[in-house]
A = this chain, B = another copy of it.
Amino acid sequence: MSVKFAVLGHGVVGSGVVELFYKNKKSIEKRAGTEMDIKYILDLRDFPDSPYQDKFTKDFNDILNDDEVTAVAECMGGVEPAFTFVSACLSKGKSVSTSNKELVAEKGDILLRIAKENNCNFFFEASVGGAIPIIRPLHRCLAANDIEKVAGILNGTTNFILTKMYNDNMPFADALKLAQELGYAEKDPTADIEGHDACRKICIISSLVFGRHVYPKSVFTKGISQVELCDVAAADVLGHAIKLIASVRRMDNGKILPVVMPSLISYENILSGVTDVFNAVLVYGDGIDQAMFYGRGAGKLPTASAVLGDVIEAVKHKVTVFSQSWESASDDSFIESHKKLAARWYFRVPAGTDVPEGSYEHENGISFITENVMTLEAAEAEASKLGALAMYPVFE
């Protein structure tokens, strides 16, 4: 018997799914243990040059009402109509694999519940870290661990910009323009550079690891648009790279603290070597100590690879994989205020300020890293007292 699936959306990721599937159809079928084929591709646009003319439909109901379709790849993006379509598919027992991080970050708990009620699966490996296997390793391979902390470089656009600032001394605005020219950044780059994209991804990771839905609005999020060349250069002298780090950790009081902030990472930490558009996720657990997963966080075929990997899993699993799931959250009282974030801090202060030993004086002021750990709240008071020109946490 041949398993039939549908692809919702024929944009960058959706067309990548179709392309990669037909390229590797034989080995994919071997791994899935069954013959497979794409029966429908849903898109409102026409693709007269596509070799798969016979598969295109503009009517979602063709897919929904075809009992032969048992799995669906959702590659449309955005919350609607994706949420309506995915809910409908899951309600009919069709497993859905998605690359749509907005959908998972906003509606993951609801969709996971519908999947469970209908004995099928809602998979979303592609929604975090593109090609990088991270969702499945987190809940399966590391299942024996108590995971304390996860930190990642989860947005390729901002990592590209920071890499250009670092390697080529290119100012933020020029690096952003280059990213747009290369197709790494959208015309409106807000979601990337202000950290919203990374925020959605750390919400998904936080929900999966700690078991309750974390909404983007509950996460303190700061982007990289204020990062200056002089701080990138000074951090380097102090033995650190500046990266946009999305992290979540469990606090001693049992709450969790997810944040997205430009942060200093010591060159001793493997995350500091993640450059260009690459993403990486570092996981800290009591058994493993630390493990990192690295790869392309976006792009046509990398994202398609993750979506298809999930489709293959969906075909192999006839029942709900309950470990990849979390509960709804009635409020966000389990989330700690970002003001409690404890770290050592990078400060840049005006020339002439009284600073500790080991500080680095340069033409834009004096940069140093505090010896002591303090909360963001205390660091802000200190920054105000010193008249600090810049301040970033050191990720450790």
Contact = CB atoms under 8 A, between A and B. Distances in A.
Interface of A: 20-21, 23-24, 27-28, 31-33, 125, 131-133, 136-137, 139-146, 270, 272-274, 278, 285-296, 299, 301-302, 304-306, 308-309, 311-313, 316, 322-323
A306 B28 contact: no
Contact of A305 (B278, B285, B293): B285
B136 A137 contact: yes
A304 B292 CA distance: 18
Contact of A144 (B287, B288, B305): B305
A209 to B, nearest CB: 11
Tallying the copies of this chain within the complex gives 2
A289 B294 contact: no
B306 A141 contact: yes
Contacts of A313: 140, 143
Nearest to A302: B288
Contacts of A305: 142, 144-145, 285, 287-288
Given A131-B288, A287-B308, 20 more contacts: A20-B286, A21-B144, A28-B144, A132-B291, A133-B133, A133-B291, A136-B137, A136-B140, A137-B141, A140-B312, A140-B313, A141-B306, A143-B309, A287-B304, A288-B302, A290-B295, A291-B293, A292-B295, A293-B294, A294-B294
Nearest to A28: B144
Contacts of A288: 131, 295-296, 301-302, 305
